[in-house]
C-alpha cells in the first residue's frame, strides 16, 4: 500500500455584505469571507492538502482567480473537481483532518453538517472526515475577527 500525505492552509478576510461559507455550509454570521469564489477557506485548505498529497500543484494554479469561470463559484465544485482528479491518478482518500481558526462564530453546532457535506461531495465515508474548530484566544487579526484561517492534512492511499 502506497500512502502519501499533504498539508493545506488558507486564510481569507472577513467582510460585511458577504455570506459565510465554511466546508460548503452557509453559516449565519454578520460577515462573510472575501474572495474571488465563495472564499470557503476550509475547502480551499482541504483541496490544497489533497493536491499536495498527490503531488499536483495547488488550487491557485488549477483555478486561477483571473479566470471569470471561477467568479463566485461554490468551492464544493472545486472540491469535486480535485476529488475526480485524484481518482484519475489512482488515489483513494484515507482520511481528511482540518482545523478552522475563527474567533467568531461558534462552529460547534455546524461541525457534523460540514463533515457530512465534505464526505458526500467526495463520495467517502463521514468517518474519514474530521473537522475541529478553535478560537485564536483574541490574538492578532484572527482574534480581532478580521479573518478566518484553516489548516488541513489529507492522507491518500494508492493500492497496487
Binding status of residue 47 toward Zn ion by CB under 5 A: no
How many CB atoms lie under 10 A from the CB of residue 23?
28
CB of 15: closest distance to Zn ion in angstroms? 14
The half-sphere exposure of 151 on its side-chain side, counting CA atoms within 13 A, is 6
Binding status of residue 10 toward Zn ion by CB under 5 A: yes
Distance CA 76, CA 38 (A): 10
CB 124 within 8 A of CB 57: no
CB 121 within 8 A of CB 75: no
Options 43-51, 106-114, 119-127, 140-148: segment touching Zn ion (CB under 5 A): 43-51
Position with the least CB separation from Zn ion: 44
Distance CA 95, CA 19 (A): 28
Binding status of residue 21 toward Zn ion by CB under 5 A: no
CB of 35: closest distance to Zn ion in angstroms? 6
CB of 1: closest distance to Zn ion in angstroms? 32
Binding status of residue 44 toward Zn ion by CB under 5 A: yes
Query: Largest Cα–Cα distance of the chain, in whole Å?
Result: 50
Binding status of residue 48 toward Zn ion by CB under 5 A: no
CB of 40: closest distance to Zn ion in angstroms? 7
Residues that bind Zn ion (CB under 5 A): 10, 44
Amino acid at each position: 500500500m502506497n500512502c502519501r500525505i499533504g498539508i493545506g492552509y488558507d486564510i481569507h478576510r472577513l467582510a460585511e455584505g458577504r455570506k459565510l461559507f465554511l466546508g460548503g455550509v452557509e453559516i449565519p454570521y454578520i460577515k462573510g469571507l472575501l474572495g474571488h469564489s465563495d472564499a470557503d477557506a476550509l475547502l480551499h485548505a482541504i483541496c490544497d492538502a489533497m493536491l499536495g498529497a498527490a503531488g499536483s500543484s495547488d488550487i491557485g494554479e488549477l483555478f486561477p482567480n483571473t479566470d471569470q469561470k471561477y467568479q463566485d463559484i461554490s468551492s464544493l465544485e472545486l472540491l469535486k473537481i480535485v476529488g475526480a482528479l485524484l481518482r484519475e491518478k489512482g488515489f483513494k482518500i484515507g482520511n481528511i483532518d482540518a482545523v478552522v481558526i475563527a474567533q467568531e462564530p461558534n462552529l460547534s453546532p455546524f461541525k457534523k453538517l460540514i463533515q457530512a457535506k465534505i464526505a458526500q461531495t467526495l463520495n467517502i465515508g463521514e468517518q474519514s472526515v474530521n473537522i475541529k474548530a478553535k478560537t485564536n484566544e483574541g490574538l492578532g487579526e484572527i482574534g480581532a475577527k478580521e479573518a478566518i484561517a484553516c489548516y488541513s492534512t489529507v492522507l491518500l492511499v494508492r493500492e497496487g
